[in-house]
Structure 1
Amino acid sequence: MSASEPQADRGRPAQRQAEIAEHVLQHGSVSATELAEMFHVSLMTIHRDLDELERQGVVRKFRGGVSAQPSSVFESNVSYRLRASRQEKLALARRARELIEPGMAVMLDDSTSTLELARLLHDAAPLTVITNFLETIKLLSGVRGIRLLSLGGEYFATHDSFLGVPCIEAIEALRVDLLFASTSAVSGSYAYHQEQEIVLVKRAMIRAAQRAVLMVDHTKLGRVALHRVAPLRDFDLVLTDASAPENSLREMRENGVSYEVA
């Protein structure tokens, strides 16, 4: 660490890293130089901080800066996804809520889109909800009339959810009326995701559902990620929002995909 850096900064790297993470999550991406000036530390110190945040899965580094936004191989941390496209996700959730009837068994994946739907289920009882998303589990655990089944497995802090073989085996033992899921990228006639652990769980969820609904806001359309999740036609309905580009909607029509614009 540079001898010219304020002594106070030397003793609080964790606090500084938390503030850096908050700034990057708010702005999406930022340069290392800007962060060094903002926190009055050297570039070397900032890069050490960013290395630690990248190790935690909060951000990803690129030449000259850092980003919380997704790439074809990097899924955004759940903290960033909770902030992104809130109004669009709410529109999708309201339409999805209309598909749910009392007495159903409904599965929700670990997406922030389905979390918005979970917020609307307070008056849906009696209802059985199955999920692997810790945020949804906490949200619905005290809701009267909702029978909550949590899917166990290995906990992944980046997604705030449970994944892996135990999760998949738990899903395979169930059969639900409706699945609501999302994914990080949709292109052509396929849904994509960056991480194979997520892909395997989503595929198991699709197999476990009598009907499956994919909730994807317009920011996810026309993008690809490393792994194919499933053909869009594996979903009974694709929900997107009013800002969806016409070329993406045309591709879905041409490929025989059933979709609605919320």
Structure 2
Amino acid sequence: MLARQRQARILEEVRRAGGVRVSELTILLGVSDMTIRRDLDQLSADGAIQKVHGGAVLGSQVSDEPSFEAKSTLAQPAKQAIAAQAARMITPGTAIALSAGTTTWALARHVASIPGLTVVTNSTAVADTIGSSDGSKQTVILTGGVRTPSAALVGPVADATIRSLHFDQLFLGVHGMDVVAGFTTPNLAEAETNRSLIERAQTVIVVADSSKWATVGLADFGSLSAADILITDDGLPNEAQAVLSEAVGKLIVVPTAPEGSRS
């Protein structure tokens, strides 16, 4: 098979499945990893696909980084329901971490009323929400670092602080989650900071509303299996729920409206 024929077959497979892994393509096409990677490089240069760790997705699926302000108004009922569920999993007196993100920001309002917590965060918005509550009952550790458009503190300073700590639970917001790409962010430095957070947590709890499904950012920071628990909302399609149920340790799907108001 000629290179362009092989690349056309790869593109067909990406369009069919939404994404592919290098390992799958080597079996499908009977060629080496290096050959597949060269093909992906060419397709990426053509703008047909976006390379992600271990494979590729369609170029049009890769999303840019929105501002914190833009994200804060989206999917509010789902984010509030997810945050309330996540808060019920926190034990007073423990050490937890909250990543940057608008769902973790919603969770911070609940955290502010739970006594005796030590809270590690790389989000100024999260730290401000907890710290500004009346009679604050928590110790807040802000990592420091370089601020991104989504209000995350990232980079070597943030990573060094996180890697010197340990926490019982990590509540992790994500820009996107995808069966091939895993958990992703549009920001390369934020991906590394999120990896650091995952490494230092005993339990990783991903909080992600259903709109994040099949969204792929530039950089991945963990496969779906990195989540011990994933909390999402009932807007997630049944097929996606089935995929996530297999991939994560435990999937929790919360309703976004009272029982009586749902059809």
Q: Distance in 2 between matches of 1:184 and 1:211?
A: 20
Matched, 1:203 2:171: no
1:254 shift after superposition:
3.5
Name the amino acid aligned to 1:169.
Answer: A
Aligned position for 1:130 = 120
* Deviation by residue 1:98-151 (Cα, 9 ceiling, x = unmatched): 110110111001111000000112320111111111111111113421111111
Match of 1:185 among 171, 176, 186: 176
Name the amino acid aligned to 2:231.
Answer: L
Decide whether the 8 Å contact of 1:232 with 1:257 is kept in 2: no
Q: Distance in 2 between matches of 1:139 and 1:133?
A: 10
Aligned position for 2:230 = 238
Matched, 1:227 2:227: no
* Deviation by residue 1:83-111 (Cα, 9 ceiling, x = unmatched): 11111000100110011011011100111
* Deviation by residue 1:66-97 (Cα, 9 ceiling, x = unmatched): xxxx9624111111111111110001001100
1:257 shift after superposition:
4.3
CA distance 1:223–1:159, shift in 2 (3 Å)? closer
Consecutive unaligned residues of structure 1, counting only runs of 5 or more, are: 1-69
Aligned position for 1:81 = 71
CA distance 1:246–1:135, shift in 2 (3 Å)? same
Alignment of 1:135-154 (within 5 A): 135-143=125-133, 144-154=136-146
Q: Percent identity?
A: 22
Decide whether the 8 Å contact of 1:202 with 1:229 is kept in 2: yes
Aligned position for 1:51 = none
Q: Which has the higher contact order (CA 8 A, sep 6+)?
A: 2
* Deviation by residue 1:174-222 (Cα, 9 ceiling, x = unmatched): 0001100111111116112221111111110000101010011010012
Name the amino acid aligned to 2:110.
Answer: L
Match of 1:90 among 69, 80, 86: 80
* Deviation by residue 1:30-76 (Cα, 9 ceiling, x = unmatched): xxxxxxxxxxxxxxxxxxxxxxxxxxxxxxxxxxxxxxxx9624111
CA distance 1:77–1:233, shift in 2 (3 Å)? same
CA distance 1:256–1:141, shift in 2 (3 Å)? closer
Decide whether the 8 Å contact of 1:155 with 1:162 is kept in 2: yes
Count of aligned positions: 192
Decide whether the 8 Å contact of 2:208 with 2:232 is kept in 1: yes
Name the amino acid aligned to 2:176.
Answer: A
Match of 1:171 among 137, 148, 162: 162
Q: Distance in 1 between matches of 2:220 and 2:106?
A: 25
Decide whether the 8 Å contact of 2:169 with 2:205 is kept in 1: yes
Q: TM-score, normalised by structure 2?
A: 0.70
Decide whether the 8 Å contact of 1:185 with 1:223 is kept in 2: yes
Name the amino acid aligned to 1:233.
Answer: S
CA distance 1:219–1:182, shift in 2 (3 Å)? same
Name the amino acid aligned to 2:125.
Answer: E
Consecutive unaligned residues of structure 2, counting only runs of 5 or more, are: 1-59, 255-263
Could you say what the CA RMSD is over the residues aligned between the two structures, in angstroms?
1.6
Aligned position for 2:100 = 110
Q: Distance in 1 between matches of 2:126 and 2:169?
A: 16
Aligned position for 1:119 = 109
Q: TM-score, normalised by structure 1?
A: 0.70
Q: Distance in 1 between matches of 2:87 and 2:80?
A: 10
